[in-house]
Structure 1
Amino acid sequence: MRNSFTKIALFIITGVIISACNAIKRVPDGKNLLTKNTIIVNEKAVNNEDAFNQLYQKPNGKLLGYRLRLNLYNLANLNPDSTFQAKFDQNPGRYERMSKILSAKQVDRLGQSFLYSGINDFFKNTGEPPVIIDTTKINKSMLRLKSYYFNEGFFDVETDYAIDSTGVKKAKVDYKITTGSPYLIDSVRTTIYTPVLDSLLKTTRRQSFLVPGQQYKTTDFEEEKNRITTYFRNHGAYNFQSNYITFDIDTIDKGKKIDINLIISNYTYQDGDSTQTHPFKLYKISDVQVYTDYSPAYAKAAIKDSTNYNGVTLYSYEKLKYRPRAITDAIFINKGDYFADNNTILTSRYLNNLKIFNYPSIQYEVDKRDPTQHSLIAKIYLTPRKKFSFGTSLDFTHSNIQDFGIGMSLSQTIRNVFNGAETLQISARGNIGASKDFANPKNVFFNANEFGVDLSLNFPRILFPVKTEKIIPKSMIPSTSLSGGFSKQNNIGLDKENFTSTFTYNWTPKRNQTARLDLFNAQYVRNLNPDNYFNVYTSSYESLNDIAQFYNTDPANVDTDGNLIINSGTTNFTNEVLSNQTALSPNDKDYQTVESIEERRIRLSENDFILATNFTFTKTTKRNLQDNNFYVIKAKIESAGTLLSLFSKAANLKKNDNGNYEIFNLEYSEYIKTEFDYIKHWDFSRENVVAIRSFFGIAIPFGNADYIPFSRSYYSGGSNDNRAWQPYALGPGSTNAKNDFNEANMKIALSGEYRFKVLGDFKGAIFVDAGNIWNIADNVIDSEARFDNLKDLKEIAVGTGYGFRYDLSFFVIRLDLGFKLYNPANESGKRWFKDFNLGKSVLNFGINYPF
């Protein structure tokens, strides 16, 4: 009853505050606040975003239906200086009294303080003035609407408007458009003054944007100009520009049809005081020259070294420091080919991707040695970066392992290591962090740390015994990377050492696609302090200790308080249970709990060796950082241990007592894993964005393993996942996250988010998250944690909430408050809305958007 009364009171108070904000406070008499625009086309209201963008006046923005910025502006005192001075004009003695307490100068400055001036400036700057209906702007809007529909093919469009009152000093504007029927293209012919261009165009006429029978649209003419220009410039027409293309449109006595004459003029250039006109030429490349160490200081210097390789001449002002192939592999401008913009762009991209030069300069000049003047010399100027560069970075981090962390890294980059444009990077990193989830007997703030050393060597080509050009051509900008690393961390209490090594191929099949093949990805994880397991995974210890209170028979296993001793007592009691030395039998639930605890302890505390091969493909339509209308698809497949098993069988190696092969006295992991990730954003203008994400991942152990290593398993919950749960606190299945750091080998995640602008760079979001993790085809015996059939999909958890973001341009600070809508850990029939309250909400802090 008390909660209901509080909610009702809060609702009433909020309503009073909102009602007290007078939206028309600053609307002059005889004027109206614009509340809505309506565009009515042929007597039917439309919701065409492009049409609405033609309007000069739009209503004040709303946040969930409330004009927040308008009301903030109305709170401001527009003349705070006059108001401050009026206080003393009305009460002259007040100024004298205040001057005795403060100085006269301080009293005068008080009018510029935040209390009088600053807060009003804040309301004015963050708020939004009322949009007052202006007939002059309405008329301008109608002209723009008329032009918009004219460009859509409606040449006889008529416009009008009406202003309708919606309340005191409030009104809406109805824009009334009568388009008539559209004009259609009847015929398209061409007048091309350069015969060679006429022949070129005939080969690509089927791709034309101007097709008889389709509706006239101005954008189609621009698209056609761009298409023709691009095609010509990729087939030798070096001097061609889009301004040489014009259109003659005839509508006389044609009814609602038009005839189009596409005109392409001859090449025009200035020769002294006269203008010359000649047919266009198609140029071929007669020579490719690369200046490998260019700088302005060398502009007039003599060339000291040169060589010719694969039709490319390499020049150097000093001794040539590069293997010729390292440079020529990046050149797509070939001697004897026609000039092509695409080859210029591809060459520039590839050279820039080498990361040993500043952005290249590519220039063309007519070859005067050719008497026909149909040849070009391509000159490529490369400015090398410094061979050695040193870098440092300081980062403040937040992750699912650390609530707060400070990281620092040092790196040394060495370019052109073997004179083949290779790049070597050596880096060292360190991190200290704080986490409330770790075992922290000394109660120190920074209770987690990590340091590591990494080495990476990159080759701008595919390193393989046989040629791969036919499979992965150099136009895909391939590269090979070898890396290795070592790190030591005290992050989850077992003091891990991590050794990694990879051999990776990268390439870009198309402009917005990337492919990565890890030919081998090796990882060795060594737990330095496995005896600390039950100090970290306290939930497991508490469950085991509760059972020991009833079934332990060995006094040496417990301390003076009767609790199991870590590690000797927990180990002995577990062995006694599983060897049937207690009153528990395998059919007892407590026996199965002990068995499950021991299975998980072994899995999470023993050392892991993983030798995997994986392939990842990513495709995105995102054009830049400001693009909010795109999708991303990412797919990955990984196989681990298969090659080791084939080798072990071929070498006839013996299996251990568990029936598994060992490498370096360690059972290696064997599994197949696949993941699929899809992200889609829709931009509804004015910074209103809807974003969704779906993820599915599964890892199946087989052969030499019956479980997935912790480093390759999945978790659920956290700032980038289901935000109504803490990291590792959801699942598996309906188990109510009874363990610490809950993980499993299958995951489903679905998220949707509506993002909107609140004030300036301060933005908000409403979100819904769904998903869970399960164990499947591994050695977990708990039925509540396993995925056995499609009925287990009812264990998908659902959370919702709202969040706030502050955009700092280079990154976004994010706070999300999540509420549990559907909790599969509750008993059936009590899963919906039972945990939907503030007391069980979860506040997540994150950097940048979750997806």
Structure 2
Amino acid sequence: MKVRVPVVFRSPKIGLILLGASIWSCNTLKRVAPDQQLLTQYKIFTDSTEVRDPQVRDLVLQRPNAKIAGIPLRLHLYNMAKQDADSSFQAWLYAKEGRKDRWEKLLSRKQVERMGESFLVSGYSRWLKRIGEPPAVIDTSITEKSLQRLQAYYYNRGYFNQEADFEVNPTSDRRAEVLYRLKLGEPYRIDSLSWRISSADVDSIYREYQDASRVKAGKQYDLVDFTSERERLTQLFRNRGIWNFQESSVNFDILRDTTSRQDQSMMVELVIDDQRRRGDSVISTQPYRVRRMGDINVFADYDVLSGEQGLKVVREGDLTIFYRDKLKYKPRTLANTIAMRRDSVYRDIDRLRTYRQITNLNTFRYPNIELIESGDDYLDANIYLSARPKNSLGVDFDLTHSNIQRIGVGLGVSLITRNVFGGAETLSLSGRGSFGLLSDDIQGEDFFSEFGGDINLNFPRIWLMPFVNNKNIIPYYMQPQTRVSLGANFQKNIGLDKQTFNNILGYSWSPDDTKNNQLELLNVEFVRNVNIDRFYDVYQSTYQRLDDVADDFEDNPAVAGFYEPDPDNPDELVLTIPEGTAGFTEEVLVNGLVPTNSDTYAEVFRIEERRQRLTENNLIFASNFTHTKNTKTDINDNSFYQLRWKLESAGGLLSAISSIFPFEENDQGQNLVFNVPYSQYVKGEIDYIRHWSLSQDNTLAFHSFVGLAVPFGNADNIPFVRSYFAGGSNDNRAWFPYSLGPGSTRNLNDFNEANFKIALNLEYRFPVVGDLKGAIFSDLGNIWNLWDNEEDPAATFSGFDSLQDIALGTGFGLRYDFTYFVFRADLGFKTYDPSKPLANRWFSEYNFANSVLQIGINYPF
């Protein structure tokens, strides 16, 4: 491919056209020999019906070159590389007599050799080959293997008398498609099921649970059912006392007539023998027997080198606890983690729960559980525990940069102390601090600082809830945890210099591997704004709105003293901060500068209302419950769903106390605690994520969220820290955070928020080159005010008509997988903008100039 560009074009559109032309000019057949054919597509037919199932199509080993927007980009990159860069360099070096000697005198022999390996000579070709993709030249041997894989797939589903072949169909010059054709016929079905079991105990268990069998008479033969049944039986027997049962002991004898095309039935016999194997050798043929638990021994702080010599003993229920010198753990704490009980039938799940419960203590390393046969009917268990370090120290250091901070330096220190009170409690102390330079000097100083700390104490049980019977309501296999947390954070020269204090008493437990529950009985947060006079310095959009209103009153003597020359334009007057903004607002709202029914009064009233809302101190005394279910099995599982719902109530306890012991009230009749009106609201959220694996490398991801917080009683709005916002890298990516909504409003404030939110996201993810992935996305959603003190109709939700204010952002993105995290860049376009007039909402700013680049870590959902 040769591309000559004699002129440098300044227009980006012309540049894009040239780039596209250069790509298209690359001949896709450049590396395809005259006697070869490039695979353009493949199709699979079963009994003349085309198969579109991704699971079946993925069985084909050779596929066409990957395309992005219809262009085989990776193939073009591969074709741009020199196939024999090293040989070309050698040919150039010896093309003229004496050239090699001259270069070696100028450089050196070693440097000349390295020059041939340099990026400009041959390195770029190796790089293009690595990120590119060679042409998918049809290889009939690979095609034959693909056909065999398809046959095996359908054979395993009962189509034993199938016929199959493939056809290479030329489509144009050196291009062809491959057609796979299978004649399946009728599948075989199970006519009858019988069983032959050597062990009497195993036979008894099987008869009790045979109705749950995956292999049943009348079903179509499917190898998946037989594999699943072997796994089910193994799990069943190992949880009914057969502690050493092996899956290899389960076999199926199948009798069928493969010569007849009329009799499509088979007889299946389940065979379970008593042979235990290690590799290819049989190590035992003793009949499987149901075993019960005998002695259960726990070796605390076990040391391999010291062994069991000189150990002391203490008993706790069914347990015998061995320890050296002094027992560091409460016996009851150790007993609560052991799910196995003496004289109970052995269950594999009890051993697994014991592993998890011990690990959940965060005090021991992964335990070792040894089972030993004791007589004919019992098993003894030895549980060896090795303690983790009593204390551990962590230090974090980072540098930050943002639109607020020119540069910031952060330092964090954390100390973890385990087994604080002898019951495997974990105490963690953490401190953090950051300081640096601001991006502007609107605060009067360009230096900022922020520091805070937290104290967390975790108990591996439900604590301070005596009305909960742990054994019946939240058993220990659910890994219950109690968390007590105290924290504080202080800011200087950031915003309004916020000070935050919080306290949490919470509980968590997991009913099974997919579910998790969290109950925060107390979640107390106190937010104090120290420098509220900075409000208009910080919230510049709100200040600009007020100053625009004040422009019409510059000649009015009542407010003449509230202005000063604009530093950027001395011929203009602007309100001073804070005296001018406060004085002008008072003249309008209190002293009658304008009629109360005028638009000016309404605008200033809304501005002042927002100022009070964002500068007020908040006391939130809440309780909440969160339930999460996640069906994702491992990191490679791309077909799963996650459901999370949360209910929260704030202010109810304080309201009940105030009815008995009346609190002090302010002028608005609100009850005060620490001279602050406490927040009172109810809040509900539901969050749903669903992923579909379309093929081996392609995924469709869906996300939906609905949240509503309703104030009542002592409050007529939701605290800013508990409200919703729209826009950002994990939300509607065509808008920056806090810039979308509420409703059909447009950038009314620097931080737009509301108490009702709807969000819907759909994203198609696909591979690009190597670890570089691509995505096409569509984001729907907005925020509104509902049942609070907001009166602007454009910002409130009034029913189904308000759904026309749902914003739509579309776009594309790139993700690079660094194994431990994913770096993400998304470019969003405003496709439907509710802030525009109805007739001008679609595609009004759908261009690169108005697009929004969002940077994020890991996937948004």
| TM-score w.r.t. length of structure 2 | 0.93
Any conservation in 2 of the 1:398–1:847 contact (CA below 8 Å)?
no
The letter for the 2-side match of 1:500 is N
Does structure 1 residue 299 correspond to structure 2 residue 307?
yes
SS of the residue aligned with 1:488?
strand
Any conservation in 2 of the 1:298–1:317 contact (CA below 8 Å)?
no
Does structure 1 residue 576 correspond to structure 2 residue 576?
no
**2:60 corresponding residue in structure 1:** 55
Cα 1:847–1:602 change in 2 (3 A) is same
**1:452 corresponding residue in structure 2:** 452
Alignment of 1:743-754 (within 5 A): 743-754=753-764
Any conservation in 2 of the 1:301–1:317 contact (CA below 8 Å)?
no
Cα 1:153–1:86 change in 2 (3 A) is same
Cα 1:724–1:321 change in 2 (3 A) is same
Any conservation in 2 of the 1:400–1:718 contact (CA below 8 Å)?
no
Any conservation in 2 of the 1:462–1:468 contact (CA below 8 Å)?
no
Provide the rounded CA distance (Å) in 1 between the counterparts of 2:797 and 2:176.
59
Any conservation in 2 of the 1:239–1:267 contact (CA below 8 Å)?
no
**1:34 corresponding residue in structure 2:** 39
Q: In structure 1, which of residues 737, 755, 765 is the aligned counterpart of residue 747 of structure 2?
A: 737
Any conservation in 2 of the 1:34–1:58 contact (CA below 8 Å)?
yes
**2:273 corresponding residue in structure 1:** 265
Provide the rounded CA distance (Å) in 2 between the counterparts of 1:560 and 1:82.
74
Provide the rounded CA distance (Å) in 1 between the counterparts of 2:403 and 2:659.
40
SS of the residue aligned with 2:786?
coil
Once the 2 structures are TM-superposed, how far is the Cα of residue 73 of structure 1 from its aligned partner? 1.3
**1:538 corresponding residue in structure 2:** 540
**1:387 corresponding residue in structure 2:** 390
Provide the rounded CA distance (Å) in 2 between the counterparts of 1:352 and 1:440.
52
Once the 2 structures are TM-superposed, how far is the Cα of residue 277 of structure 1 from its aligned partner? 2.8
Once the 2 structures are TM-superposed, how far is the Cα of residue 127 of structure 1 from its aligned partner? 1.2
Any conservation in 1 of the 2:83–2:125 contact (CA below 8 Å)?
yes
Does structure 1 residue 124 correspond to structure 2 residue 129?
yes
**1:472 corresponding residue in structure 2:** 474
Provide the rounded CA distance (Å) in 2 between the counterparts of 1:800 and 1:269.
58
**2:330 corresponding residue in structure 1:** 323
**1:75 corresponding residue in structure 2:** 80
- Larger deviation, residues 470-479 vs 659-668: 470-479
Once the 2 structures are TM-superposed, how far is the Cα of residue 706 of structure 1 from its aligned partner? 0.8
Provide the rounded CA distance (Å) in 1 between the counterparts of 2:61 and 2:686.
45
Any conservation in 2 of the 1:77–1:120 contact (CA below 8 Å)?
yes
SS of the residue aligned with 1:783?
coil
Any conservation in 2 of the 1:306–1:320 contact (CA below 8 Å)?
no
Provide the rounded CA distance (Å) in 2 between the counterparts of 1:274 and 1:243.
11
What are the superposed Cα offsets for residues 181-220 of structure 1, whole Å, 9 maximum, x if unpaired? 1000000001011112111101111110111111001111
Once the 2 structures are TM-superposed, how far is the Cα of residue 405 of structure 1 from its aligned partner? 6.1
**1:202 corresponding residue in structure 2:** 207
What are the superposed Cα offsets for residues 103-138 of structure 1, whole Å, 9 maximum, x if unpaired? 444333211111012101101111122222122222
The letter for the 2-side match of 1:592 is A
Provide the rounded CA distance (Å) in 2 between the counterparts of 1:472 and 1:461.
9
Q: In structure 2, which of residues 72, 88, 95 is the aligned counterpart of residue 90 of structure 1?
A: 95
What are the superposed Cα offsets for residues 444-488 of structure 1, whole Å, 9 maximum, x if unpaired? 5xx654221001000000012234222222221111000010111
Provide the rounded CA distance (Å) in 2 between the counterparts of 1:726 and 1:435.
21
* Aligned residue pair count: 836
Cα 1:147–1:554 change in 2 (3 A) is closer
Once the 2 structures are TM-superposed, how far is the Cα of residue 585 of structure 1 from its aligned partner? 1.1
Cα 1:759–1:238 change in 2 (3 A) is same
Alignment of 1:102-181 (within 5 A): 102-181=107-186
Provide the rounded CA distance (Å) in 2 between the counterparts of 1:715 and 1:681.
25
Any conservation in 1 of the 2:275–2:282 contact (CA below 8 Å)?
no
Cα 1:780–1:431 change in 2 (3 A) is same
Cα 1:612–1:771 change in 2 (3 A) is same
Provide the rounded CA distance (Å) in 2 between the counterparts of 1:546 and 1:29.
74
Provide the rounded CA distance (Å) in 1 between the counterparts of 2:531 and 2:236.
66
**1:652 corresponding residue in structure 2:** 662
Does structure 1 residue 595 correspond to structure 2 residue 605?
yes
Cα 1:260–1:405 change in 2 (3 A) is farther
Once the 2 structures are TM-superposed, how far is the Cα of residue 409 of structure 1 from its aligned partner? 1.7
- Larger deviation, residues 14-23 vs 602-611: 14-23
The letter for the 2-side match of 1:546 is D
Any conservation in 2 of the 1:439–1:535 contact (CA below 8 Å)?
no
Any conservation in 2 of the 1:269–1:277 contact (CA below 8 Å)?
no
Q: In structure 2, which of residues 20, 23, 28 is the aligned counterpart of residue 23 of structure 1?
A: 28
**1:290 corresponding residue in structure 2:** 298
Provide the rounded CA distance (Å) in 2 between the counterparts of 1:823 and 1:590.
27
Does structure 1 residue 431 correspond to structure 2 residue 437?
no
Once the 2 structures are TM-superposed, how far is the Cα of residue 42 of structure 1 from its aligned partner? 0.7
Structure 1 residue runs without a partner (length 5+) = none
**1:563 corresponding residue in structure 2:** 574
Tell me how large the CA RMSD over aligned residues is: 2.2
Cα 1:321–1:685 change in 2 (3 A) is same
Any conservation in 2 of the 1:621–1:631 contact (CA below 8 Å)?
yes
Provide the rounded CA distance (Å) in 1 between the counterparts of 2:801 and 2:406.
36
Provide the rounded CA distance (Å) in 2 between the counterparts of 1:43 and 1:713.
58
Cα 1:277–1:837 change in 2 (3 A) is closer
Any conservation in 2 of the 1:41–1:179 contact (CA below 8 Å)?
yes
The letter for the 1-side match of 2:579 is S
Cα 1:66–1:451 change in 2 (3 A) is same
Provide the rounded CA distance (Å) in 1 between the counterparts of 2:695 and 2:445.
50
Does structure 1 residue 357 correspond to structure 2 residue 364?
yes
Any conservation in 2 of the 1:398–1:846 contact (CA below 8 Å)?
no
Structure 2 residue runs without a partner (length 5+) = 1-9, 567-572
The letter for the 2-side match of 1:25 is K
Provide the rounded CA distance (Å) in 2 between the counterparts of 1:165 and 1:11.
34
SS of the residue aligned with 2:842?
coil
Any conservation in 1 of the 2:724–2:783 contact (CA below 8 Å)?
yes
Cα 1:396–1:38 change in 2 (3 A) is farther
| TM-score w.r.t. length of structure 1 | 0.94
Provide the rounded CA distance (Å) in 2 between the counterparts of 1:344 and 1:125.
48
SS of the residue aligned with 1:511?
coil
Cα 1:137–1:546 change in 2 (3 A) is closer
Any conservation in 2 of the 1:774–1:786 contact (CA below 8 Å)?
yes
Provide the rounded CA distance (Å) in 1 between the counterparts of 2:189 and 2:387.
56
Once the 2 structures are TM-superposed, how far is the Cα of residue 298 of structure 1 from its aligned partner? 2.4
Provide the rounded CA distance (Å) in 1 between the counterparts of 2:689 and 2:403.
21
What are the superposed Cα offsets for residues 552-587 of structure 1, whole Å, 9 maximum, x if unpaired? 5233322355422211221122112111431x1111
Provide the rounded CA distance (Å) in 1 between the counterparts of 2:337 and 2:793.
57
What are the superposed Cα offsets for residues 706-742 of structure 1, whole Å, 9 maximum, x if unpaired? 1111111111111111111111111111110121111
Once the 2 structures are TM-superposed, how far is the Cα of residue 802 of structure 1 from its aligned partner? 1.2
Any conservation in 2 of the 1:675–1:698 contact (CA below 8 Å)?
yes
Once the 2 structures are TM-superposed, how far is the Cα of residue 537 of structure 1 from its aligned partner? 0.8
**2:496 corresponding residue in structure 1:** 494
**2:569 corresponding residue in structure 1:** none
Once the 2 structures are TM-superposed, how far is the Cα of residue 685 of structure 1 from its aligned partner? 2.4
Once the 2 structures are TM-superposed, how far is the Cα of residue 276 of structure 1 from its aligned partner? 5.5
Any conservation in 1 of the 2:664–2:673 contact (CA below 8 Å)?
no
Structure 1 vs Structure 2: percent identity of aligned residues? 43
Q: In structure 1, which of residues 550, 553, 559 is the aligned counterpart of residue 552 of structure 2?
A: 550
Any conservation in 2 of the 1:72–1:123 contact (CA below 8 Å)?
yes
Once the 2 structures are TM-superposed, how far is the Cα of residue 81 of structure 1 from its aligned partner? 1.3
Once the 2 structures are TM-superposed, how far is the Cα of residue 96 of structure 1 from its aligned partner? 4.7
**1:698 corresponding residue in structure 2:** 708
Cα 1:227–1:400 change in 2 (3 A) is farther
Cα 1:636–1:268 change in 2 (3 A) is closer
Once the 2 structures are TM-superposed, how far is the Cα of residue 403 of structure 1 from its aligned partner? 9.5
